[in-house]
Amino acid sequence: MLGSVFDPSAELLVEERLRPHWAQAGAMVFVTFRTADSIPRSVLSRWDREKDDWMKRHGMPQHLRWSEFLTELDVSLQSEFRTAFTRKQEDFLDSCYGQCVLRDPIYATIVANALLHCDGQRYRLGDFVVMPNHVHLLAAFANPETMRKQFDSWLHYTAGQIHHRLGRRGHFWQQEPFDHLVRTVEQYQYLRRYIADNPKKAKLRIGEYLVRRY
């Protein structure tokens, strides 16, 4: 495997920005980057309301938001929450909403080459797939700070390269990627299958995606 699975007894960094990010040295992480136009703001707002309602049913005080209360829940409830709302996002992304710039092999290759560029030096990169409006990957990082900086580097570099070719400016990626620490060997194998099967699930044709198996 790329690295270790999440160890509940080891040191853990929880960073609060737009949402909680959990990171652990050497642990494998499943990451999703999505383009800025891949999910309409109205849909995101509706999901936030649904998340708040879910949390209130599980004891969240009125003055908090779901992202502030999530880490206070039992681990099993956190898993239930993440599973339910991650599935909503993944299903919507597979509908290929937005301009889907990454359907073009030229732009998909820019992303793939950036992911592979420092593999084995700054991180260990596993399976990944570049879909028309999002990217899934598995990776392991030496420490949480390295992971955060690498996310920023990937997003900044690829956005600049793609916008230069398109002759435009503005946000290309969402502000915050989705990341999830891999908890078990079984989950690692499941995520590898998910990455491999994602193009078929989204009914894409050869040439509309780019996949790499570790």
**List of E strands, 47-133:** 123-130
Instruction: Give 34's pLDDT tier (boundaries 50, 70, 90).
Output: very high
d(CA 172, CA 160): 9
Instruction: Give 20's pLDDT tier (boundaries 50, 70, 90).
Output: very low
Q: Please tell me the predicted confidence (pLDDT) of residue 121.
A: 93
> Structural domain boundaries of the chain?
1-38+101-214, 40-97
The neighbouring-strand residues paired with 82 are none
Amino acid at 45: S
* Distance from chain centroid for Cα 109: 18
User: Which pair of tokens denotes residue 154?
Assistant: 């990937």
CATH of domain 1-38+101-214: 3.30.70.1290
- Does the pTM surpass 0.85? The reply is no
d(CA 72, CA 60): 9
DSSP letter at 104 equals S
Higher per-residue pLDDT: 106 or 25: 106
